[in-house]
Each structure stands twice: as structure tokens, then as C-alpha cells.
């Protein structure tokens, strides 16, 4: 009798364990399925390498090809991060790092020189989920300013650091510090000499400054979790004086991200973008008037900024993966990729 009871107990226990195991498997499966379903379909990324007066007549076929290849290289790296489950922050930082490390753009290596023949770099980053942001201004030794801006956001209670203080903070954060000579390229030295020569004949070389290609770089991204991020990095304006600061490090002017609406990175004549609070204005038009990102960008760039005499452009991506690449100039180095892997690379405004 005892033996029969024991056998029955073992059978019951076996069934309990079996059902428990299957239940755990079902629970794990459902949890994984839920996590997968929580990922959005329309993730994407957009980059720019500056807007300006570039034209087919001025651009050699060789340089056209070089810029397009670099833009394609950068956008593919950022896209790969998003495709593999990386965050929008990671994609933005890495994409901008690559452009900062290239001498093709006015950011990091190859940045323009101020009136004293020195480098002054600015950058900002914003997280659309938390609305946290970080910026650095007027630095001369930080190899990758966008990474410093992110560290300000992550590891300080502040939003913006300037000059030597920003450099000291970045060094404490373990970021790479370089000799200022690292950033210099002959093209920028010649550019400054040319402007200074013309400056002797005029108190303000307005037309010459307008014709300089704005090589500011930027990136906006939407990741699989539905989070937006925006980053922008620049060397500012050639021959700038008196520690002039443009729109790039000003949150809401040259850079903005909000998960409710969009992520925006701007490039152009900074003073006009500050006065129009361009990046935030696009977001506000979307949030309060219900405009599409393409509509809001067009109004701000081609009506508001243009009306004041400013020129430049923006890139943007909204919470649904829709993108905008708006400009009122002859061109803007730009590229984007969607979740399907479709890639678009453009330079001129009529493309």
C-alpha cells in the first residue's frame, strides 16, 4: 500500500514539474514576443554635413564622389547600430564622430579658423525621451566635441560648459584630448587668409561669409524603442571674432529632440537660427498645430528664416520615422536610411 502511494506521489509530482516547465517556457516566449512587439518598425537615421552655396559648377566630379562616399559610409554605420538594437544616442554619437574625424567637414578635424587663426569648437546633444541635453562651447583640444556634449548631459547636473572648463571636464571623463594642431588643414588656413585680405577692403565681408560652405555636421535618429535623439557639431564661422557663439550649442536653436514630435539638427547662418529658435519652432509647430515634419520644416526655413535674410537648412525625423531635409541654399550634404535599409545620399537642392 505504501509503495502504491509513493508511486502515485511521484507521478503527480512529475506532472506538476512538467506543467511548470511548460508554463515557464510559455511565459518566457510571451515575454520575448512582447519585447519584440514593443519595438517600432519605422526606425531611421538622417545626417548632414552642412548647407551652403555648393553647386555642380563649383564641385569637381572627384570631390562630388568623395563627399557622397563619406556620407554613405557614415549613414551605414549609424543605421547598423539602430538595426542591431542600438540606441538613437549611440547612432548619433558614432555618426558624428566619423564626420568630426574627417577633414571634409567644418567640425572636429578640418574645422574653420577664427580671426586669430585658432580653432573654437561647439557641439550639443539632446535626448528626446528625457529632454536631457548637453553642450560644449569654444573648446580647442577635445578630439570629438559631440562626445563631450553627451558627457555633460550624462555626468553633470548642467547643460553647457565653456572653454577650458569644458576641456578639463572632458579630460576627467576620459575623452581623448589632442594638440590644437591636430585640427588644422591647409584648406582652412588658405580660406582665412583670403577672407582677411578682403576684410582690409571692407569692414564686414558679408558676401564672402555667405559664400562659405557651412560644414557643420549633424545627425538625428529614431531607434527601435521609439526614442529620438539629435546631435550637432561645428567649428563655427570662418574669421569669427570676440568668442562668437552660433546656434549649434544653443538647445532649441541649432539642435532639439522630443519624443512627442521630432529630432532636429540645423546648419547655416547661426545668428538667424538663434533668433528664430529654429529647431524648437519646428517641434512646436508639430505639437501645437499638428503639422507634418516636412510642413513645419519648410515654413521655418523657407519662410521665417529666409524672411529675415538667413540661409541654411535642417534635417529631421519624427516619432513615426518620417524625415525632412529642408534648405533655402543651393545645397546641403545629406543622407538618410529607413528601417528597410533604403539609402538616399544627396548634395544639391534640386536632387
216 catalytic per annotation: yes
CATH of domain 44-348: 3.60.20.30
Tell me the C-alpha distance between 26 and 223, whole Å. 28
The CA R_g of the chain, rounded to the nearest whole Å, is 25
Q: What is the pTM of this model?
A: 0.88
| Cα distances (angstroms) measured from residue 116 to each of 100, 142, 175, 243, 251 | 22, 19, 26, 10, 27
Chain segment 293-335, per-residue pLDDT in tens = 999 999 999 999 999 999 999 999 999 999 999 999 999 999 9
Catalytic residue among 60, 87, 141, 216: 216
Low-confidence ranges of the chain (pLDDT < 50): 1-3, 5-6, 10, 12-13, 15-21, 23-36, 211, 213
Instruction: Specify the DSSP element, H or E, that contains 48.
Output: strand 44-52
C-beta atoms surrounding 58 within 10 Å: 12
Q: For residue 324, list its beta bridge partners.
A: 316
Amino acid at each position: 500500500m505504501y509503495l502504491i502511494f509513493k508511486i502515485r506521489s511521484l507521478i503527480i509530482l512529475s506532472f506538476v514539474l512538467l506543467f511548470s516547465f511548460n508554463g515557464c517556457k510559455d511565459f518566457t516566449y510571451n515575454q520575448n514576443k512582447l519585447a519584440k512587439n514593443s519595438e517600432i518598425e519605422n526606425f531611421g537615421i538622417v545626417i548632414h554635413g552642412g548647407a551652403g552655396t555648393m553647386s555642380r559648377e563649383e564641385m569637381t566630379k572627384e570631390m562630388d564622389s568623395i563627399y557622397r562616399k563619406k556620407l554613405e559610409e557614415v549613414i551605414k554605420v549609424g543605421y547598423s547600430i539602430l538595426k542591431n538594437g542600438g540606441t538613437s544616442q549611440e547612432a548619433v554619437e558614432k555618426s558624428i564622430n566619423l564626420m568630426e574625424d574627417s577633414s571634409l567637414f567644418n567640425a572636429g578635424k578640418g574645422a574653420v579658423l577664427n580671426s586669430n587663426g585658432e580653432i573654437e569648437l561647439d557641439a550639443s546633444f539632446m535626448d528626446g525621451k528625457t529632454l536631457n541635453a548637453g553642450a560644449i562651447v569654444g573648446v580647442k583640444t577635445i578630439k570629438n566635441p559631440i562626445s563631450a556634449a553627451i558627457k555633460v548631459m550624462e555626468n553633470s547636473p548642467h547643460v553647457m560648459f565653456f572653454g577650458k572648463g569644458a576641456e578639463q571636464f572632458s579630460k576627467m571623463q576620459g575623452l581623448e584630448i589632442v594638440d590644437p594642431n591636430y585640427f588644422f588643414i591647409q584648406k582652412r588656413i588658405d580660406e582665412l587668409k583670403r577672407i582677411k585680405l578682403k576684410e582690409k577692403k571692407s569692414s564686414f565681408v558679408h558676401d564672402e561669409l555667405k559664400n562659405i560652405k557651412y560644414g557643420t555636421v549633424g545627425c538625428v535618429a529614431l531607434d527601435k524603442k521609439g526614442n529620438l535623439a539629435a546631435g550637432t557639431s561645428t567649428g563655427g564661422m570662418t574669421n569669427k571674432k570676440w568668442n562668437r557663439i552660433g546656434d549649434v550649442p544653443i538647445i532649441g536653436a541649432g539642435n532639439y529632440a522630443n519624443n512627442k514630435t521630432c529630432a532636429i539638427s540645423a546648419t547655416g547662418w547661426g545668428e538667424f537660427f538663434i533668433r528664430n529658435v529654429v529647431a524648437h519652432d519646428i517641434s512646436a509647430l508639430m505639437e501645437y498645430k499638428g503639422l507634418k515634419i516636412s510642413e513645419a520644416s519648410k515654413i521655418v526655413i523657407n519662410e521665417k528664416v529666409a524672411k529675415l535674410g538667413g540661409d541654411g537648412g535642417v534635417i529631421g525625423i519624427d516619432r513615426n520615422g518620417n524625415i525632412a531635409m529642408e534648405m533655402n541654399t543651393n545645397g546641403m550634404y545629406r543622407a538618410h536610411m529607413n528601417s528597410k535599409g533604403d539609402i538616399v545620399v544627396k548634395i544639391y537642392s534640386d536632387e
